[in-house]
Chains A and B, each alone.
Chain A
Amino acid sequence: MKLERPDSAGRFGSFGGSFAPETLMPALTELERAFTEAWGDPSFREELDGLLASFVGRPTPAHRATRLSDRLGIDLWLKREDLAHTGAHKINNTVGQGLLAKRMGKPRIIAETGAGQHGVATATAAALLGFECAVYMGEKDIERQALNVYRMELLGTEVIPVTSGSGTLKDAVSAALRDWVASVENTHYIIGSVVGPHPFPWMVREFQKVIGEELQGQLDGSKGHPRPDVIVAPVGGGSNAMGVFYPYVGDTSVRLVGVEAAGLGIETGHHGASLGHGSPGVLHGAMSYMLQDAEGQVLEAHSISAGLDYPGVGPEHSYFKDAGLVEYDSVSDTEAVGALHLLSSTEGIIPALESAHALAWITREAASLSGKTVVLNLSGRGDKDVQQVAAFDG
């Protein structure tokens, strides 16, 4: 059964918790208190809903992919998070946490970013709400997402390169946490996914569940708006999937599928499938499935998609997996790039590589989905990935 909120220790079953340096613990407690209070305050909700409508552009449409539906023999719908301001679902969370930081009186914001989408969304919220902002980004990701780096700088944010470890999302989260250990008294850390110590996984889910709640109203079973049989979303840290799944979790008429990165192939060891092929452990402050070696050292993930290139996953996804509430599968870099081409040329929408993973699963499983109403959570647009896809195609 899904949980309204984690228990008093911040646990979803055996997952979650707060494994953070003591210096941060009082701030996490304060954040939990401030969020609980704000979330129950109609004036906070009204201000957030107002910004989600006029600034973010919500609700995002549920669009029927007609040509691809015909081609695959399914009834395929796209939840258009790519149309949200800044081009991905990440903005739902950054505007929410930004308003909360303002309410808490913190003048400075930090964030980590992988693909750059969360960094851009944080920089955008910081400009909107008047915060000083710094974003940590792995040097490898800075290379493959140069456009997003420049966007953040245009928005007045400082992008700080992270050279430790693999120079990707995992290291950017660690670097942001280190900054926060030193700056916690005047800084709020806007974590970008349903990961991290309590209360982050719960709070980010609450800010993202607007996706699934809108979808319930849009595909409500009325004429021309069939209720979904299957909802598919990509899972890195897992915030877009959590957002679209959560309102449906426990509804046995809807099959929920999270798609992780199989990278170069599970058998090569170069992948990002923490749920499918990892084991429970503590990464970035929470107990969850993760990729680790025989010594409990964190392994580097691999994915062509910077947003899925992460060796951990949100603890509530781990709970859903073990409780059998959501299925998790994976697709490779090659399959994802193929799906990106397919959606671009068939529907006139270039998806983010993250979202292309979910579409690749749908095309691979199309025969078994025949005649079903399938919703793809199109978590972001693919402009940021165009150069990388061109390089991949050679």
Chain B
Amino acid sequence: MADGRAALTAMFASARSEGRAVLLPYLTAGLPDPDSSVEIFAAMAAAGADGFEIGIPYSDPLMDGPTIMEAGERALKRGMTVDRSLDVVRSVVERTGVPVLVMTYVNPVLHRGIDAFFGAAADAGAAGVILADLPVDEAVPFVDAATRQGLGMVLFVAPTTTAGRLEKVVAADPAFVYAIAEVGVTGERDRASVNTASLAASLRERSDVPVVFGVGIASPDQARQAAADGDGVIVGTAIVRRVLDADSARAAIEELTPFVRDLASAVRR
């Protein structure tokens, strides 16, 4: 069995040895269509992405703002399913060789069964799983299943997270901590600075678990700041919007290639 968690650990270790953070772009699976989305991921890997978060669309994405919601609605309307999304994961892993995290919500996982879902994700070559509505309080069966299936489970902290909750998250031993940079749902924020330093410091006091910042990071400047405080940066909405706005997959790739290149050089601090 491939060890997805080990692949994530190796990714962070190699970036740390180079004195930089990793860049993990997010895109909803199957956007604008399954084959094109694989091409888009391949282009982003060529432009310097270290890994990906691939979204399996869900009907009620509570943590997502309008852009990623629209992406999910479009993908579902065009017939994306869990299995078709995992086919995209498989193709992206085969094409790029970088670690891929599957991102979705709790219910599609519970509906299939946690082990069945995680097993299918591992079989598709995924390295880890992120569930946006899974707080540490409900995480035990998911963390256990991830371990059984050789996947890295990711858990969240937010600017609102108390010290007691930080302890619980660290104690649950996630593959990395997804640190929510801004109070709010996913989306681009028109602000010069991101608020990542204090959250990073409270985690560092407790553990050397990798810390990846996401939510509200949309520009190379914001990515540079987050990368100074953490081990990685997730950019979602800014990527998804460029794909939604493009007339074709080719246009999306032309738009994304320089953008991802700029982000990748930004996380090199």
A: residues with CB less than 8 A from B are 9, 17-27, 29, 164-165, 170, 174, 177-178, 181-182, 184-185, 281-285, 292, 295-298
Contact = CB atoms under 8 A, between A and B. Distances in A.
14 contacts: A9-B138, A17-B138, A18-B138, A21-B156, A22-B155, A22-B180, A24-B160, A26-B162, A164-B73, A178-B62, A178-B65, A283-B107, A296-B82, A296-B112
Contacts of A25: 135, 137, 160-161, 165
Interface of B: 58-60, 62-65, 69, 73, 76, 81-82, 105-112, 132-138, 155-162, 165, 180, 183-185
Contacts of B135: 18-22, 25
Given A22-B156, A164-B73, A295 B184 contact: no
Contact of B165 (A26, A177, A292, A297): A26
Nearest to B58: A297
Contact of A296 (B110, B137, B162): B110
A112 to B, nearest CB: 13
A170 B61 CA distance: 12
A17 B138 CA distance: 8
Contact of A170 (B60, B157, B160): B60
A25 B138 CA distance: 11
Contacts of A21: 62-63, 132-133, 135, 156, 158, 180
Contacts, number: 111
B157 A22 contact: yes
B29 to A, nearest CB: 13
A282 B107 contact: yes
B180 A23 contact: yes
B107 A292 contact: yes
Contacts of B62: 20-21, 174, 177-178, 181, 284-285
B158 A295 contact: no
B88 to A, nearest CB: 15
Contacts of B133: 19-21, 282, 285
Nearest to A171: B60
B60 A22 contact: no
B168 to A, nearest CB: 10
A278 B65 CA distance: 28
Contacts of A281: 107, 110-111
